[in-house]
Structures are given as C-alpha cells and as structure tokens.
Amino acid sequence: MSTQSQSIVDIQGLNKWYGALHVLNDIDLAVASGACVVVCGPSGSGKSTLIRCINGLGSYQTGTLRLAGTTLGLNASETAAARRQTGMVFQSFNLFPHLTVLSNCTLALRRVAGQSRAEAEDIAMAHLEKVRIPEKAKSYPGQLSGGQQQRVAIARALCLNPRLMLFDEPTSALDPEMIKEVLDVMVALARDGMTMICVTHEMGFAREVADQVVFMDGGSIVDHAPVRDFFGPSGHPRSRLFLNTVLKH
C-alpha cells in the first residue's frame, strides 16, 4: 500500500503531445520508496519520454508529477531541489569526454553540492569502488569499454546521493558481453534498497530484482503488475505477446 507520502514518484493524468502525436496518454504511476520498477514496451511506446519527464529533461502538457513530495513546475527552486534527488543513467552513457573518470564524478559534487576537491574525490572514489572500477579513475572515457563507461555513469549519478535512480535503456548500446557487468551493478544497487525506475528490455533483470513491471504501448500504460503476475500465466495478453517476442532472443 503506497500512500502519497511514501511514494517518491506520484504521477497523475500525465499527457504529452508532439504536435498531433499523443506520446503520453493519461499516465498514472506511483512508485514507492525502495521499489524497483521496470518499464518495458516496444520502441516508440513512450517509455523514455516518461522517465525523462520524471527528472525534468522532458516536458508535458497536462497532469501532475510529484517527485519526493514536490509537485514539479510550481516553484522553480523547489523543483530544482526535487530534481537533485534523482540520478539519471542514459543509453549512450553521456560521460564528459574531456574530463577524467574522477572529474566526471566530482564535477557536480563540487559545483552543485559545493564540496571541496578532497571531499568530492573521496565520495567519487567510494562510488567508483562500488561499481568496481576505481583503477580507471585517472582514465578518460574514450579509453574505457562501453560497459566500463556505463558503470562510471552510474557512479557519477550516485555521487549526489540521489533517492531515486532513473535508467534509460542502460544496456541497449552495449555489446552482449558487457551487459552483465552493468546489470550486476544495477542488481546490487536494487538490493541495497535504492529506488529505481529502469526502462529496459532485460527481462532477466526484471525477474531478478524488480518489484513491479510497467508495460507501455502507444503512449499508454497497458499493464502494471507485480513482477510475479507480469511473467505469470495470467498476465495481460498484450504483455504476453511482447514477452514472447522479447524472450525469443
């Protein structure tokens, strides 16, 4: 039972149009603190658009989005403070290529959290150890493999100590043999109790750590079920059709 006070994300009646295209259609979604929610669905179904709205990278036309108790968009400084509680991991890593791994992680700590260089580096190193890549602290992103870059991106997002982590297809740009090292880090994070919303097609990951699965199609949430039900025989027919195609690979 997730009441509003326990929900870190509470979305009601969210709608977004690109011109005539209805990309988010009346989305209702509540995510409880500590939950791991996997969002899946065919491409163009609005998954990425939805999680980009949650941390303010994307806009929406109607509906309300409460993040950590703050309704986004009412007050600029409160909105900024709420957004600061989220960390985001992108499909294409988006590390800063001109900065070392360590500087990628310390930039926001120093400029946003206002910490000293030494403090920031201590925090960054702790997170780089958590994602098992401390030895690359002095390397540049271009010198790392895709899997390593994505783990650094996770560490960078964790540095600001977010209460909610958003993952936008974090393994879709990776070679198969690198997917596991990133998923392992995400599994460990979920087991640590981090609240996570993950757009991913990694159904093995969903089975292992997700509490709920949200299935989207055509801008709507078609199915939103506890993970056991989602994969169970009584699952939504549209979800089952999708699972059959995804799991075949």
> Where does this chain bind other proteins (CB under 8 A)?
55-57, 80, 83-84, 86-88, 90, 92-100, 107-108, 111-112, 140-143, 156-157, 160
Residue closer to other proteins, measured from CB, 9 or 243: 9
Whether 144 and 155 have beta carbons less than 8 Å apart is answered as no
Q: How far is the CB of 237 from other proteins (least distance, A)?
A: 36
Residue closer to other proteins, measured from CB, 40 or 109: 109
Q: How far is the CB of 2 from other proteins (least distance, A)?
A: 25
Strands 70-71 vs 220-226: parallel, antiparallel or unpaired: unpaired
Q: How far is the CB of 88 from other proteins (least distance, A)?
A: 4
Residue closer to other proteins, measured from CB, 96 or 135: 96
Residue closer to other proteins, measured from CB, 17 or 140: 140
Please calculate the CA angle 48-172-102 and round it to the nearest 5 degrees.
90
Whether 61 and 9 have beta carbons less than 8 Å apart is answered as no
Q: How far is the CB of 247 from other proteins (least distance, A)?
A: 30
Map tokens 């929406």 to a residue.
60
Residue 220 — φ and ψ, nearest 5°?
-115, 155
Distances (CA, A) of 101 to 106, 143, 166, 248: 9, 10, 20, 37
Q: What is the per-residue burial (b if ≥16 Cβ within 10 Å, else e) of 104-125?
A: bbbbbbbeeeebeeeebbebbb
Q: How far is the CB of 144 from other proteins (least distance, A)?
A: 11
Residue closer to other proteins, measured from CB, 41 or 141: 141
